[in-house]
Structures are given as structure tokens and as C-alpha cells.
Amino acid sequence: MQQALSSIALAAAALLAVAPRAQADAVTDWNTVAGDIVVQARIGTPGAVRIMAIVQTAVHEAVAAVPLLQPADVSAAADAAVAAATRASLARLLPQQVPAIDKAYQSALARVADGAARSAGVAAGEQAAARVVAWRADDGFAAADRYRPHAAPGAYVPTASVAAPQWPQRKTWLLASPAQFRPAPPPALDSDLWARDYNEVKVMGSKASTQRSAQQTEVARFWEYSLPPIYSAVVRSVAQAPGRTVAQNARLLAAASQAMDDALIAVMDAKYHYGFWRPVTAIRNGDRDDHPGTGMDAGWTPLIDNPGHPEYPSAHSILAGAVGTLLKAEVGRGRMPELSTTSPTANGATRRWSTVEAFMQEVADARVWEGIHFRTSVEVGLDMGKRIGALAVARVAQSPATAAVPAAIAPRNGAFVESIAARGTQVYECRADATAPGGAKWVFVAPEATLFDRSGAAIGVHYAGPHWEAVDGSKVVGAVDARADAPQADAIPWLLLSARHAGGNGRFAQVSSIQRVNTIGGTTPARACDAATVGATEKVPYSADYLFYRS
């Protein structure tokens, strides 16, 4: 993944500079600009992905804050907030690029009418950027390189530096730890699976291969590129679909960038944990793996240059799995738009896919055809990525995302206090009911969820009552005043609840009403509930935002 960004970086910058851009909204336009600037900074893929995650998270925070400021022109304020959040975060992370950043910022801001709305948006963007950059400043990206090459005393090993050896120690966005989804070890060298993987890449991934087709070679060259723009464009294929809002796209790109950054943290954890050899090393030492079915080829060379880190699992595959899973959830039951992106390592060629599955599989196949990964590695990488993508769906993303709050659940009075995210389950019990088909039905019992503040820190719990309890001991209990259907069919309703103080003096002590919005999941269990299963319980995953107000 870590590339020497010389001719590749310059080619990428040139292509991106002239590429036509769909003017969907400020979020997608600035995502393209930020990608250009990160490429021009000539940093490696892991560092570039980290920067994009911080930028897009700041944009999401800024857009979410705009409605709370009640500007006269929400659209103008949102555009200014996106521009200011991107500029402020990029300037802190890439100070050498400030002239290009400021030029893009001034151009964007000139298109927003001057006035109170623009000023409010700029303030929201700058505050969000400062908050997110400070939050991630000590995430471990600058930790010392303590990598120790495997070597016998006195034996020479190549002395090129390895890529991102400190990444397994970084603070994650969504994962509980870098090793949360660490896979089982790579195939044993005496196994049939190892022989299968070895011989496939030996034949298909060789620079001199006669079995790899011209089209497969084109695909392999295409996915030699790994910097964020190649995946950001795939995400924008969905973000630029008709009818989407700035808030939707801010949330989607934040989720995608956080998932990608966590994916690289997780994959580097596994890579440096196992330290598995690349095909070029294995094939040139095929007589030393104790398997009779792996013939040695002393002069074997892969189609592309080897990345500077261990082989297992595939980093490109984990990124594709994370992005693809997120996009499937975002579109939901709707029609997936055509996905597309371009690649500087393929002379600016564009590739297109009608399904997420085709996109993910192509990325995985490409790494085998390039000669740098074994088949098991790409399969494991895809699986890890899908798990991380699902985590992003539950913790950040929403489909169709941040629709306007219906008037039916608007707070009657009171001042907004804060927005709290909840992630957990809705608990149901199968109870006897003579009027229901089968003599029983699922009945909602209680929520069980953890509460998180805007920085992602856990600040309390949500449980039966329903109660919201902060870590400082303050708590409130709610009663439903009004409800509205969620924008999507497979999510629990949005609610307005009156709140009553239930103990403790602290964070929640003054809360008088609560809105539940942006719900995902939590609906009645799909499995059967009948007379034979009365008493069974089921916990259905859900997430929601709770907006707290005080009188």
C-alpha cells in the first residue's frame, strides 16, 4: 500500500486537476479537493487515509452543528461549514499545502453569500475541525518505529524501511482495538490450501505470465494505485445520486473514511503480527516450504513492485470490503447506482461496476494478478473489511440519513443541550396473545445501549424505563409524547419524549425533553414467535441519535 509517490503522485495530481467534477454539493466537491491536496502532499497511503478520515469527520461534525445554530439560510451556512471544516483540518495536518488549501477555500467561500449565515457556518466548521484534530492528535500515528526485521545474526536482509509499522498501536475510530477482527493465521505451509494459493499466484501473478489475460493485466495495473481518491470516487458514485442531502453525504463520507482508516489499522495489526512472506519470497524459496506441490522458481518476479509490509492479509481487499459493505447499507433496498473510479496507474482509465460485489471481487482478484498476494489473503481481507464496514453502518452511517425532523415530534419548548448517539439493542420478548397469528407476538421490553458524545467517548447508558443515565450519576426517565415513522422501513420510529429527573446532579439533571431521530435497525425480530416459543427473548441491534433539551 505504501508507494513511492514520485511519478505516480504527479500523474495522479495532474489527472485529478483536469478531471470533470459533478457538482453534487459542497461535501462531495470538497471531498474531491481534499483528495487532490493529499495526493499532492506525496505521503503514503496509510497516512493519507488517516488525514481523509479526520477531514471528513470534521465535515460531518460541522454539518450536524449547522441546524442547531438556526441560521436564516441553512444551505449557505452548511456550504460555508463544509469549506471551513475542510480548510481548517487540512491546514493543521498538511501545513506545507496551505497555499493550495487557501486558494480552494477562498474560491468556495466567494460562492456563498456574505452575511450572518456564512459567518455561522464558518464558525461551525472551524470549531468542528479544531475539536476533531485535537481528538485525533495523540492517536499514535507519530509513534517511534520499533519494527525488527526477521534475521539470523550476521545475515543480510534488505534495508528499505517498512510501511506504517506503528499503525497497530494507533487509536481506532470504530474498532474496540486494532486486533478486534484479527484473523486466524495464514495457511500452513504443508497444507493443500497453501499449495493452491502458491501455484495460482505463481502462474497468474508473474511479470512474465502467459496465463494472465490482457484484461486481467489491465485490472491489475488499475489497482496498483491505493491512495484515497480511488476509493473516494466509488463512494461519491452513491453520494452524487439524485435526491441526496448535504447531511447525508457528510455522514456517508465520514463513515467511509473512518472505516478505511480503521481497516488499515486492523490490517497492519494482522500483517505485523503474522509477518507472512510475499509471493516473490515464497516462490524463490519453494524448495524450502516442505510441500511437494510447490515448485521453486529462482527468478520469479511479480507484475508490480512489492509494497513495503508483510503479505497477510490484503490491505486493498480490506478497504474494498469496508467501502462496499457501507455502500450496500446506504442504498438499502434502493437501486445501486453505477459505481466508478479512475486510476493514475492505468493512465487515467475509468472502470465501472453495476454491483458492489463485482467491485469488491475485482479489487481482490487484482492483487493476485499483480503477484503480490495469495488468494487466501484477499479472501480474508474482504471478510475483515466487511466486518468493519458493518461496524461503520451501526456507529456512524445512516440510510437514508439525517432527514428533516417531522413537525409531529418537534419539541414544544426548551433550549437544545446536546446530541447523544446510542448504540446497542432493542430487547423483545415473545408473549402469548390469543389475537395474534400463532397465539403469540413479539413485545418490546427495553433498550440496552451505550451512549456516546460527539467525540465518540462513552458517556452513559440507556436502559429500561426508558432511562438515560450519565457516568456522573445523573439520569432522567422518559415518556413518549409523539412518534413519527423513520424515513426507511427497517428502522424503529422517531420519537418525542418528555423527560423527568430521576436522580443525580450532573449532565442530565436539567433535561426536560428528548427526541429520538436518525434510527437504524431495532425493529421487531424476524424469527418466528408462536405458542411454542413464548418466553423467548431477542436482542435486535440498533442505533439512534438522542437530542436533549432543557426547559
Residue-wise burial string across 265-274, b where 16 or more C-beta atoms lie within 10 A, e elsewhere: bbbbbbbbbb
- Phi, psi at 342, each rounded to 5°: -120, 160
Q: Where are the beta strands (DSSP E) in 160-251?
A: none
SS3 414: coil
The alpha carbon of 10 is separated from its chain's Cα centroid by a whole number of angstroms, namely: 27
pTM for the predicted model, two decimal places: 0.73
- Residue 59 pLDDT > 50, yes or no? yes
**Element (DSSP H or E) covering residue 14:** helix 7-18
Q: Give the DSSP H/E element, type plus range, for residue 127.
A: helix 116-136
Domain ranges of the chain: 7-395, 407-550
**Would the pLDDT of 414 be above 60?**
yes
**Class assignment of domain 7-395?**
mainly alpha
Decide which of 23 and 261 is more confident.
Answer: 261
Q: What is the pLDDT of residues 79-131, one digit of tens each?
A: 999 999 999 999 999 999 999 999 999 999 999 999 999 999 999 999 889 88
Confidence band, pLDDT 50/70/90 cuts, at residue 399: very low
Q: Give the DSSP letter string of 314-356.
A: -HHHHHHHHHHHHHHHHHTTSPPPPEEEEEGGGTTEEEEESSH
Over the stretch 184-198, which tens digit does the pLDDT of each residue have? 999 999 999 999 999
Say whether pLDDT at 12 is over 70.
no
